[in-house]
Amino acid sequence: MKSRLFAAVAASALVISLAACSSATSAQAPAVSPATSGEVSWWGWTPDTPVAQKYIAAFNKEFPNIKVTYKNYENVDYRNAITPALDSGTGPDIYDISPAGGSPETWGSYALDPSSFAQTTLGSDWQNKFGSGYVKELTNSDGKVTALPLGGMTAGFLWYNANIFTAAGATLPTDYTSWVTACQKIKAIGKTCLAMGAGGQDTFPTELVHSIANSVDPAWFLNAATGKAKWNDPQGIEVLNIIKKMSDDGIIPKNVLDNGQYPLANEEFMKGDAAMVQMGYWYAQYSGAESAKTAMTSAGVTNPQPFVQMPLMFPDVAGKGNGSAVFGEADYGLAINKASKNVGAAETFVGWMTMSKNGQQNVANAIDLIPALNGVEPDWNSVKLVDQAQQQPAIAKLLSSSSATTQTRQWQTTDTTLKAIVVAVQQVLDPTIKKSVTDIAKQMQDSSEASTVGK
Amino acid sequence: MTDVAVKTRLRGGRKVHPQPGGLRWVAPGFVLSVGLIYYCIFYSGFLSFFSWRGGASKMTFLGLDNYTKAFASSVFWSSIAHTLIFYVVVFAVQVVGGVFFAAAMHSKILFATLYKVIIFVPVVIAPAIMAPAHIQVWSSDGTVNALLSDLGMGWLAQGWIGQSSTSLLVVTMAQCWGAVGFGFLLYFASMGQIDYEILEAARIDGAGNLRILWSIILPNVKATTISLAILNFITALKLFDNPWLLTQGGPAHSSEFLGTMIYSEVSGQSRNLGYASALSMILLVIAIAVSVVMNTRGTERPTRKRRRGRTIADKETQDV
Amino acid sequence: MFEIRSRTQRFILQLVVTIAIIPFLIPLVTMVQKSLEGEGWTNYVDVMKVPGFGRFFLNSLIIAGCSIVLVLLFTMMASFGFSKLRIRNKEVYFWLMMAALTLPEVVLIAPLYVTAVRVGLLGTYWSVILPIAALQIPFTTLITRAYVDGIPDALFEAARIDGASTWQSFWYILVPLARPMGVALGVLVLINAWNSYLLPKMFLINDSMGTVTLLPEFFKRQYNDDTPKVLAAAVLTAIPEVIAYIALQKQFERGMSAGALK
């Protein structure tokens, strides 16, 4: 008698296509040339509807006769809605696919292989025209490219509130000791040092673990994820111990398990109550003057006065001189539904978004995604930041180092492993759990599942 | 014709022949609910023997592996434990709270209508809507901790949601918030049917309020209590909304229920829909078994004749 | 129920009840408080400015209305049949329906999407109304049957002797007498239909067919929900239900009381 939320979600996912299932064999894009008119539907968990509408408006300036309708789903709803839709043949013409969680496997079979289309547009070395590894990350195990990348994402660094640091007289941390000192100064003026939320089932805590791991041993995290190393190797135990220390020494706040990163950490940071937060490149958009105001209002601030938000490399907490490498991959790509009745128009739209300078310029200017196409940079004249002088060079620098990542973010880590890491972090941070770090690490290893992707 | 015989005895001996042809009256409701529902059961039963990621992924036959995986999983058994604890607490609170408020509302107090509304509104509002409010109340810097410090019990303040020792408590309390109103409604109504003469007689004999509550009121609302027992058990087994919205079964599975386990399995990126189906089947079997047991033990139809004397409800409408 | 012998006792009872009521208010107050953060009452205005706002309320009304009619009709008929008419193996049918009551929803709505697609109902109101009704009927039949049991058989006997058909007995005797119960059922089904979220989201794929429960979606973003507006939308969604409850409160109690008794 209560809400059907749960039931319907589970149910719709338990659907078997009773009609003949679409086979998993790849299909090259038929020789359909891009059309200049038609109607196209697009489903995705990202971008947000207002952003998508901006993209579509820009697209319509060049192709006014193609009507694009975007439908946004929340992450989980998307996964459960897209499968029955694609199965039944009533699905969208264009849909998002991300490298993470095996999506190319699960939904790639419904998509056209855009390789020949991309080749026509960008030439025979079209794969290299995109960010390093992006196309590979969107290829399924049959070797079929399932989508063209729209943008990439990196994480493994922090954002800080420059106003708070100035007010507290604190210096930016570069290693563990300096971080503790900075936190003491920040807490002295009544602010939280690091906003963080590790409750629930979101996988944000894994980014913290990945960053700390990179400072302990740069190769270990991905080795453990792909089964070449164990999660309870000495490196793993050291990572968990560092997290425990961070909580004891006041870097990680006491309310960390009250809720997930969103909304807990985000709201605290946006309200101006916290000095630092660990978020990825997508957070750069809040350096924008307008976006900062909107975000602060959403967090519940009346009459917001935007603060100066700046990126900061993750401190070398293990103190071994490894720094902490940033990690990233394609964030998502646009796939064309094989069963679509508007393939021509879909190709035009996808091509414009992913492979044209204008389309990618839009992506770059939003400072939310890293443009998938190489050589496209934000047009800083049209991007208004809160403090242009301070933030612009910092973000530009972040962008260029993001394009040069060598580690992937979630492509090579299974969902099971991510969940196991989250549970381990929660066990370490929960004051009422008395398990030893060795036991927690062992449980993390036992509940994880090695990834076979990409090797 | 046993049911007819039973009925005639209840009605004081007059023989009543029910009209024939009842099936076509029952058919529409029966077909709609049973048809839709049973189709889904068999469907899930079928799926529970496979490993399947959904859509065009391969379906691998696993035999009973999904079931053995469930029974071997410590998360599964903690979910069962959480379900039982949850059930007992919510049922107790619902009965105590429901009876108390119902009895109070049947007495002469001011603002009764206002109170009735406040207690019942939680039943009306969907859990998804209330979740942020509940989280706010139980956060480390939330209402409960603030109240505790105000009352001088600040040492009790803790991170209720974020501790595996107290996360179940938060989920249970959130559920009780809505459960009391429902219990109140049922008890209020059934108390209104109690014969006023019995109460009068007891008072004349000098019984105090508590004695009356225990010996007269409670036995008379037994039917309601049994219904609530069954309903609560089913709810506890199926429970999903509140634990998912508040803690998502965490931290570290400390507030996990079968419902959240199934949802996790289905909505995660790497999922085995067969395993989720197996869990559903297990849930189904437990639900049916326990409901049947509860119902057979609970429904002893009262065979004493009830003279329809003045009930509480009658008296109240007269007094007003 | 409690006899109050003195003013002190009365005062104590009033006090105890008032204090006991406070915990119920807290989350409600918090919710409204949070919905006023940020831009304050503008949040509510923004919610109402969502394109199709009025349309969503209308859709919810349509779905709730049809569900209520369907459930009321089928439930009355079924309880009439179970309680007053002769059916071979009646209890088997009854318990089959009751067994469906014990099922977790997860098992139920699983293949509904496929069925909806194959039968061509996807994107119509029926794809939402039928499941909602189907899931309510076992419970509503259970409590209505008990209520109808309480209506004296003699009435129907008399009618039959006078030559009334089964249909006439149903329409002219049962339905009027069961009105309080009908009202109670109406409120219960209204709450469930109005709050239904994922069924409409999945099955009502046209933008113009959304329900009020989809309103908060407009303010949810990939990461950064506009929580105050989401809550404002939630409050606006809940208000009609609360009003309906208050208005029908008396009828509801009368209906539920007879139904709960065995």
C225 with A282: Cβ contact below 8 A? no
pLDDT, residue C255, reads: 54
CATH 1.20.200.10 is held by the domain A157-325+414-447: no
Q: How many domains are there within chain C?
A: 1
Per domain, the residue ranges of chain B are 69-319
Q: Which of A94-108, A413-427, C56-70 has the least mean pLDDT?
A: A94-108
Q: Does A27 touch chain B (CB under 8 A)?
A: no
pLDDT of residue C166 exceeding 60, the answer is yes
A120-136 pLDDT tens trace: 999 989 999 998 889 99
Whether residue C22 lies inside any domain: the answer is no
pLDDT at A34: 77
- C199 at A interface, C-beta within 8 A: yes
- C 70-99 residues with CB < 8 A to B: 70, 73-75, 77-78, 80-82, 84-88, 90-91, 93, 96-99
Residue A255 contacts B where some CB pair is shorter than 8 Å:
yes
Which residue in chain A has the smallest CA separation from C139? A1
B165/chain C closest Cα distance in angstroms:
22
* Region for C224 from its dihedrals, namely left if φ exceeds 0, alpha if ψ lies in -120 to 50, beta otherwise: beta
Residues 6 or more apart in contact with residue C178 via CB below 8 angstroms: C76, C79, C144, C147, C148, C151
Q: Is residue C194 part of a domain?
A: yes
Chain A residue numbers with beta carbons less than 8 Å from the beta carbon of B54 are 13-15, 83, 106
ipTM for the predicted complex: 0.77
For residue B306, the model assigns a pLDDT of 42
pLDDT of residue B301: 45
pLDDT(A306) > 60: yes
Chain C CB within 8 Å of residue B191 CB: yes
Q: Is there a domain that residue C221 lies in?
A: yes
pLDDT for residue A371: 93
Four-CA torsion A291, A295, A300, A304, nearest 10 degrees? -30
pLDDT of the residue at A7:
43
Q: Is residue C27 part of a domain?
A: no
Residue C3 lies in a domain: no
A contacts of C131 (beta carbons < 8 Å) = 4
> What does the pLDDT look like over B162-205, one tens digit per residue?
898 899 999 999 999 988 988 887 787 677 667 677 888 888 88
Contact A84/C114, CB-based, under 8 Å?
yes
- For position C242, which CATH number holds? 1.10.3720.10
Give the mean pLDDT of chain A.
Answer: 87
A278: which residues sit within 8 A by CB, 6+ positions away?
A155, A157, A158, A159, A194, A196, A204, A207, A208, A211, A265, A314
Is C27's CB within 8 Å of B177's CB? Answer: yes
CB contact, 8 Å: B189 with chain C? yes
The sign of the torsion formed by the CA atoms of C171, C172, C174, C176 equals: positive
Per-residue pLDDT at A314 exceeds 90: yes
Distances (CA, A) of B317 to B311, B314, C178, C245: 10, 5, 20, 21
Q: How far is CA A411 from CA A207, A208, A454, B90, B230, in A?
A: 13, 17, 8, 43, 46
The pLDDT, as a whole number, for residue C259 is: 46
Write down the pLDDT at residue C110. Answer: 46
* Residue owning tokens 């059930």: B87
Superfamily of domain B69-319, CATH level 4: MetI-like (1.10.3720.10)
- The minimum CA-CA distance between A239 and chain B, rounded to whole Å, is 18
Residues C112-128: pLDDT tens digits? Answer: 666 666 677 777 888 88
The answer on pLDDT for C44 being more than 50 is: yes
The total of other beta-carbon atoms located within 10 Å of residue C13's CB is 18
**Does any CB of chain B come closer than 8 Å to the CB of residue C37?**
no
Domain boundaries, chain A: 7-152+331-393, 157-325+414-447
- What pLDDT does residue B207 have? 78
Reported pTM: 0.83
Stretches in chain B below the pLDDT threshold 50:
1-16, 300-308, 320
Q: From the list A5, A21, A254, which residue is nearest B128 (CB)?
A: A5
Q: What is the DSSP string of A373-439?
A: BTT----TTT--BTTHHHHHHHHHHHHHHHTT--B-SSTTS-HHHHHHHHHHHHHHH-TT----HHH
Residue B304 is given by DSSP the state S
The pLDDT tens digits of the residues spanning A323-361 come to 888 999 999 999 999 988 999 999 999 999 999 999 999
Distances (CA, A) of C191 to B118, B186, B272, C77, C87: 16, 17, 33, 22, 33
B229 CA to chain A: closest CA distance, Å? 15
Give the pLDDT confidence score for residue A429 in this predicted structure.
Answer: 94
pLDDT for position A386? 93
Encode pLDDT of A212-235 as tens digits: 999 999 999 999 999 999 999 999
Instruction: pLDDT band for A8, please (50, 70, 90 cuts).
Output: very low
Which of B129, B198, B294, B311 is best to mutate for the C interface (most C CBs within 10 A)?
B129
pLDDT value at residue B77: 95
CA dist C126 to B26, C120, C237, Å? 21, 10, 22
Q: Could you check whether A7-152+331-393 and A157-325+414-447 share the same CATH topology?
A: yes
- What is the structure's pLDDT at A169? 94
Beta carbons of B135 and A258 less than 8 Å apart: yes
**How confident is the model at residue A292, as a pLDDT?**
92
Instruction: Report pLDDT for A29.
Output: 44
Examine the pLDDT at A281 and tell me if it is beyond 80: yes
* Homologous superfamily of A7-152+331-393: Periplasmic binding protein-like II (3.40.190.10)
B133 touches chain C (CB under 8 A): yes
Tell me, yes or no, if A190 comes closer than 8 A to chain B by beta carbon. Answer: no
DSSP state of C190: H
Question: DSSP per residue over A197-259, as a string?
Answer: -B-TT-STHHHHHHHHHHHH-TTHHHHHHTTSS-TTSHHHHHHHHHHHHHHHTTSS-TTTTSS
Distant-in-sequence, close-in-space partners of C126: CB < 8 Å, separation ≥ 6 = none
What is the β-pairing status of strands A309-313 and A370-371?
A: unpaired
Partners for A (CB, 8 Å, 3+ pairs)?
B, C
DSSP-based three-state secondary structure for C116: helix
